């Protein structure tokens, strides 16, 4: 048997950790419930394509540094691949594979006509100038450009990237093509083919399902309490929209620290503080608390909106929030899921809760391809409609099958992807 014929190690090894193991454990549970065979599981557990590129960067001081980047296309049976681009020192290929797989399920669950992809560059963007980040982005784009395009794979912002990054990717790709291709990225500036409502879409969606989840447990959002981990593109607006709904946000954190106010933080004032200082730390109208206090706060609602694997076997039993709504991708490990389930906590899974971003990315791509732009109200209404419809169908499936929301969401999504495979048939 040649190396190429060796079976791929698709089964999470006992005791193994990390997002790819978590994603495959969730998939295994869904394919078992659906009665799928090992061949189909293996196909769905494995990315369709992946590329690793080296990115030589000329630093501002004239020296050269070599960075590494990845783009993984997990599946495109339902349409072009879609997924964010992450700039973080923690990026590795297995993490990108897991995030790409979750994108496939998210798009299928929300009935957005895409497959899943994800990209990452191992870099801490805080230590690089804007000019250096632009050179990194353009070189990375150039290396992956045979794989991307409006009909192939459409990047979007994620941790450490933003609308400027998307504008640079769009420009680099367009220069190579010889004409402007607005539909190659989403999350662009509005003046450059971005969609109204995209910057806040993920958080809007998180809050739509968070309010629905609170009401489903008989808790009035006006007067409820919440804590939010992460104060970036997702966490910040989630905190803002929760506060606007009357929910008191007692605690928030970022990678530098956490703040707490028993009567509720003044979120607009906190946003001003973050704009001025770059962190929630040092906010005058709150007390500094240890980072874990945000995850363990005695609140109705917890929104993890930072990174993967923050709710684990070692801390899940200390979570006191009645409801956890996953703004981040993969914040809860399968062991933590079991502990939270046994403790009667309601976990609204990432592939449902944070899908608002990809929904409005889809709207942006539709608008860019038609060169016809929608009003903010139109975007917001269509976003709310899709989020609440998915919330309804996941709850219905969970009740019908007697399974947690995550398993129900994964089953619905995996079934749609498997159906697409079946209808298309296996080539050759």
- Which member of 85, 302, 328, 346 binds ligand NAD (CB under 6 A)? 328
Name beta bridge partners: 287: 260
H helices then E strands: how many in the chain?
14, 12
Radius of gyration of the chain from Cα atoms?
A: 21
Binding mask 344-383 for ligand NAD (x = CB under 6 A): ----------x--x--------------------------
CB distance 62 to 109 below 8 Å: no
By beta-carbon proximity to ligand NAD, the closer residue of 274 and 414 is: 274
By beta-carbon proximity to ligand NAD, the closer residue of 181 and 355 is: 355
d(CA 422, CA 414): 12
Residue 71 found at the interface with ligand NAD (CB under 6 A): no
**Which of the residues 377 through 416 are near ligand NAD (CB under 6 A)?**
none
Token duo for residue 413: 């999504």
CB distance 121 to 133 below 8 Å: no
Q: How far is the CB of 91 from ligand NAD (least distance, A)?
A: 11
Residue 96 found at the interface with ligand NAD (CB under 6 A): no
Residue 165 found at the interface with ligand NAD (CB under 6 A): no
- Which member of 57, 107, 159, 319 binds ligand NAD (CB under 6 A)? 159
For residue 42, the SS3 value is: helix
Residue 119, judged by CB atoms within 10 A of its CB (0-12, 13-18, 19+), counts as: buried
**Which of the residues 241 through 260 are near ligand NAD (CB under 6 A)?**
253-255
- How does DSSP assign 331-372, residue by residue? -B-HHHHHHHHHTT-EEE-HHHHTTHHHHHHHHHHHHHHHT-
d(CA 69, CA 86): 10
d(CA 190, CA 178): 22
Helices (H), 230-333: 235-244, 267-277, 292-296
> Quick one: which segment of 227-235, 341-349, 362-370, 401-409 binds ligand NAD (CB under 6 A)?
227-235
By beta-carbon proximity to ligand NAD, the closer residue of 141 and 329 is: 329
CB distance 25 to 334 below 8 Å: yes
CB distance 387 to 353 below 8 Å: no
Strand pairing report for 257-260 and 248-254: antiparallel
Q: How far is the CB of 102 from ligand NAD (least distance, A)?
A: 9
By beta-carbon proximity to ligand NAD, the closer residue of 198 and 403 is: 198
Q: Give the dihedral of Cα atoms 93, 95, 97, 101; nearest 10 deg.
A: -170
Active site residue 188: no
Token duo for residue 67: 């960075």
- Which member of 26, 186, 229, 395 binds ligand NAD (CB under 6 A)? 229
Q: How far is the CB of 230 from ligand NAD (least distance, A)?
A: 3
Binding-site residue total for ligand NAD (CB under 6 A)? 24
For residue 404, the SS3 value is: coil
- Which member of 115, 120, 157, 286 binds ligand NAD (CB under 6 A)? 157
Residue 307 found at the interface with ligand NAD (CB under 6 A): yes
By beta-carbon proximity to ligand NAD, the closer residue of 137 and 253 is: 253
- Which member of 80, 194, 221, 230 binds ligand NAD (CB under 6 A)? 230
Residue 202 found at the interface with ligand NAD (CB under 6 A): yes
By beta-carbon proximity to ligand NAD, the closer residue of 148 and 307 is: 307
Residue 158 found at the interface with ligand NAD (CB under 6 A): yes
Residue 332 found at the interface with ligand NAD (CB under 6 A): no
By beta-carbon proximity to ligand NAD, the closer residue of 26 and 202 is: 202
Summarize as ranges the residues that interact with ligand NAD (CB under 6 A). 157-160, 202, 229-235, 253-255, 291, 305-307, 327-329, 354, 357
Catalytic site residues?
A: 118
């Amino acid at each position: 048997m040649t190396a190429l014929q060796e079976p791929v190690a698709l089964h999470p090894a006992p005791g193994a950790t990390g997002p790819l193991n978590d994603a495959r454990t969730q998939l295994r549970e869904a394919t078992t419930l659906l009665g799928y065979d090992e061949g189909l599981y293996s196909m769905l557990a494995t990315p369709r394509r992946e590329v690793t590129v080296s990115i030589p960067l000329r630093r501002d001081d004239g020296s050269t540094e070599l960075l590494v980047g990845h783009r993984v296309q997990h599946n495109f049976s339902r349409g072009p691949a879609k997924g964010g681009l992450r700039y973080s020192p923690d990026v590795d290929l297995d993490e990108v594979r897991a995030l790409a797989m979750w994108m496939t399920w998210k798009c299928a669950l929300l009935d957005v006509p895409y497959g899943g992809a994800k990209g990452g560059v191992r870099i801490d963007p805080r230590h690089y100038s804007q000019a250096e980040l632009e050179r990194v982005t353009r070189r990375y784009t150039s290396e992956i450009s045979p794989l991307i395009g409006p009909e192939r794979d459409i990047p979007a912002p994620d941790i450490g990237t933003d609308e400027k990054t998307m504008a640079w990717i769009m420009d680099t790709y367009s220069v190579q093509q010889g004409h402007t291709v607005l539909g190659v990225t989403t999350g662009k500036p509005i003046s450059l083919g971005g969609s109204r409502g995209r910057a806040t879409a993920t958080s809007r969606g998180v809050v739509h399902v968070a309010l629905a989840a609170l009401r489903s447990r008989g808790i009035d959002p006006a007067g409820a309490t919440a804590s939010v981990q992460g104060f970036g593109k997702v966490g910040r607006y989630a905190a803002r929209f929760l506060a606007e709904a009357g929910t008191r946000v007692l605690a928030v954190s970022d990678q530098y620290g956490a703040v707490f106010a028993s009567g509720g933080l003044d979120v607009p004032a906190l946003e001003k503080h973050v704009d001025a200082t770059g962190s929630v730390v040092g906010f005058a109208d709150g007390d500094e608390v240890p980072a874990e206090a945000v995850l363990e706060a005695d609140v109705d609602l917890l929104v993890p909106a930072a990174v993967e694997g923050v709710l684990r076997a070692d801390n899940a039993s200390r979570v006191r929030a009645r409801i956890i709504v996953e703004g981040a991708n993969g914040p809860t490990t399968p062991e933590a899921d079991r502990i939270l389930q046994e403790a009667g906590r309601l976990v609204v899974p990432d592939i449902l809760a944070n899908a608002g971003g990809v929904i409005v990315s889809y709207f942006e791509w539709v608008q860019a391809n038609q060169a016809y732009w929608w009003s903010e109200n139109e975007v917001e209404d269509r976003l709310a409609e899709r989020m609440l419809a998915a919330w309804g169908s996941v709850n219905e499936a969970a009740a019908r099958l007697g399974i947690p929301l995550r398993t129900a969401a994964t089953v619905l999504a995996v079934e749609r992807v498997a159906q697409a495979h079946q209808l298309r048939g296996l080539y050759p």
